[in-house]
Chain A
Amino acid sequence: MKKYAIFLLAIVTWHSIYAQNEIKISELSIPTSPGFVLADKAPASIEKPTTPKAFGVSLLNLREGGAVEVTPYWLVNHPAYTFTDYFKKRKFPVLETFNISAATFKTDTTSSVSMGFRTQIVRLYSKAAREELEAKRLEIVGLLSVEDFTPEALEAIEKARKELSDLKSKITFNFEIAAAIIGSSKNNSFKNLQSDKSGVWANIRYRPKECPLDFTALARYSWTNNTNPKVGSDSAFFDYGLSLSFQKPKYDLALEFINRYDFSIKSNTNRLALVVNYMIYDNIVIVGSFGKNFDKVKNLLTVVGVKFGLSNDKAKIN
């Protein structure tokens, strides 16, 4: 397993070195697998809705585990789906953002696996944003309407593409749902794999005009399974919270607060964390979160990891 992980890292590093794209952190999205989020293994507990990858691999770090994700819609071509459709008509992009992921991670005693999905129910651009996108689209169409490209023309196209990418990332309102199930086996045997925890949640993102902050709200219901048959009832939790994030080309800072209500013991706990994503290279992001976790004791939260994106396509953090 260790050899495999090192091999995978080598592939990721090789790919990242040779797939040199000048990109910004706002263009870099390596969405954390829902399985990581449900297991509280993700540095951020509130994930901004992001454009998923057609196919991607993300590793939190080699010791903790990794995830693989696929967006079936983009595994085939869509001849009639124009760019104008993207920002004008596709307000409910459920199918095109439906993303399935599988993750594996280690706990103190067992290895766990998870399956999850996420999809955007609503994606809206403001009228001003749509107008800006349309103007940029027309500019690019004009630049592309030539029989031969001069170096200057290619430079102008690249500049316009980056500006378009920036505009695309400025989605005004996003509503995303996700769900995951985690299973583990005490003796690491597939036959003894059993479900430990399940959860469903929604992320709602709002980006006010001319405001440097992004607001993402979370509502999540989760429950544990087969934890203690002698007690008779499993635990169930309701999490709700808000994340404020500030983004610059190379980094993303987010402050998140989540309150957790435990139905079985009728008690509240909370988490307050500062989450930092810093892009050190294309498709490689250092991520860390610091603060207080949900637990009542030993609740100091310090997670530092590296997120790798493995794909020919670009990833995204916004």
Chain B
Amino acid sequence: MAVKKVTKTDIPVKVNLDTTVLLTVTIGNAQIGGNVVRWKSNPNILAKGEIKNLNLGLGVDIRGKILKVTTNVLDVNEVTNGIVIVHYFHNGNPSSFTYEDRVEKDGDILQLVTEYTFK
């Protein structure tokens, strides 16, 4: 079992000062994934596991902060080794980030580490 690591940093997300920003992570291709979400400057974990409508706070409170999202996807689909991850920010602009990749073999893991900067 191999772990393929991919890092994407400094991804800008524009937010309105007066709206709440929510995060949802979707793992496609009938694969299974888990997440760890935290602010980069803070070791405390905001949420882990499946992420659905995670309240990140008001735009005014999170502007300037960097959100670190670690998504690990296990290839459990015997038909394809394709991996597709969608990070969706409700009230963010752009609202969704899709990452597509492949692992080499069945049972391999793709680890995607993303850092979103709220502006």
**Which positions in A face B, CB cutoff 8 Å?**
19, 21, 23, 27, 29, 51-54, 71, 74, 77-83, 85-86, 96, 137, 140-147, 149, 154, 157-158, 161, 164-165, 168, 312-316
Given that A21-B107, A78-B29, A312-B105 are known contacts, is A144 also in contact with B79, CB under 8 Å in the complex?
A: no
Give the contacting residue for A147; candidates B36, B49, B74, B100; CB below 8 A.
B36
Given that A141-B32, A145-B35, A157-B1 are known contacts, is A77 also in contact with B79, CB under 8 Å in the complex?
A: no
For B108, the closest partner residue in chain A by CB is A21
Confirm or deny: B31 has a beta carbon within 8 angstroms of a beta carbon on chain A: yes
Is there an interface contact between B3 and A154, defined as CB atoms closer than 8 Å?
A: yes
- Chain B 65-119 interface residues, beta-carbon cutoff 8 Å to A: 70, 72-74, 76-82, 84, 86, 98, 100, 104-107, 109, 111
Is there an interface contact between A146 and B36, defined as CB atoms closer than 8 Å?
A: yes
Given that A141-B32, A141-B34, A313-B106 are known contacts, is A74 also in contact with B49, CB under 8 Å in the complex?
A: no
Q: Which residues of B contact A164 (CB under 8 A)?
A: 32, 76
Is there an interface contact between B105 and A78, defined as CB atoms closer than 8 Å?
A: no
Is there an interface contact between B34 and A146, defined as CB atoms closer than 8 Å?
A: yes
Q: Which residues of A contact B109 (CB under 8 A)?
A: 144, 149, 154, 157
CA A25 to CA B41, docked complex, whole Å? 48
For A54, the closest partner residue in chain B by CB is B80
Q: Which residues of B contact A53 (CB under 8 A)?
A: 79
Is there an interface contact between B98 and A79, defined as CB atoms closer than 8 Å?
A: yes
Is there an interface contact between B78 and A83, defined as CB atoms closer than 8 Å?
A: no
Majority-rule SS of B interface residues: strand
Give the contacting residue for A141; candidates B29, B50, B70, B105; CB below 8 A.
B50
Interface residue tally for chain B (C-beta within 8 Å): 37
A317 shortest CB reach to chain B, Å: 12
Give the contacting residue for B78; candidates A51, A137, A140; CB below 8 A.
A51
Is there an interface contact between B30 and A85, defined as CB atoms closer than 8 Å?
A: yes
For B49, the closest partner residue in chain A by CB is A145
Is there an interface contact between B82 and A147, defined as CB atoms closer than 8 Å?
A: no
Confirm or deny: B26 has a beta carbon within 8 angstroms of a beta carbon on chain A: yes
Give the contacting residue for B3; candidates A27, A77, A149, A168; CB below 8 A.
A149
CB 8 Å contact bits of B32-67 with A (1 = contact, 0 = none): 111110000000000011100000000000000000
CA A137 to CA B70, docked complex, whole Å? 18
In the complex, 14 of the A-B residue pairs with CB atoms within 8 angstroms, ordered by the A residue number, are A21-B107, A23-B106, A51-B79, A53-B79, A71-B79, A74-B79, A77-B28, A79-B29, A82-B26, A141-B50, A143-B34, A149-B72, A313-B106, A314-B106
A266 shortest CB reach to chain B, Å: 44
For B38, the closest partner residue in chain A by CB is A147
Is there an interface contact between B30 and A19, defined as CB atoms closer than 8 Å?
A: no
A81 shortest CB reach to chain B, Å: 5
CA A272 to CA B72, docked complex, whole Å? 49
Q: Which residues of B contact A83 (CB under 8 A)?
A: 27, 30-32, 76-77
Q: Which residues of B contact A158 (CB under 8 A)?
A: 1, 107
For B107, the closest partner residue in chain A by CB is A161
Q: Which residues of A contact B35 (CB under 8 A)?
A: 145
CA A140 to CA B34, docked complex, whole Å? 8
From B48, B78, B82, name the one whose CB has the most chain A CB atoms within 10 angstroms.
Answer: B78
Q: Which residues of B contact A80 (CB under 8 A)?
A: 26, 28, 86
Is there an interface contact between B78 and A314, defined as CB atoms closer than 8 Å?
A: yes
Q: Which residues of A contact B80 (CB under 8 A)?
A: 54, 74, 313
Q: Which residues of B contact A23 (CB under 8 A)?
A: 106
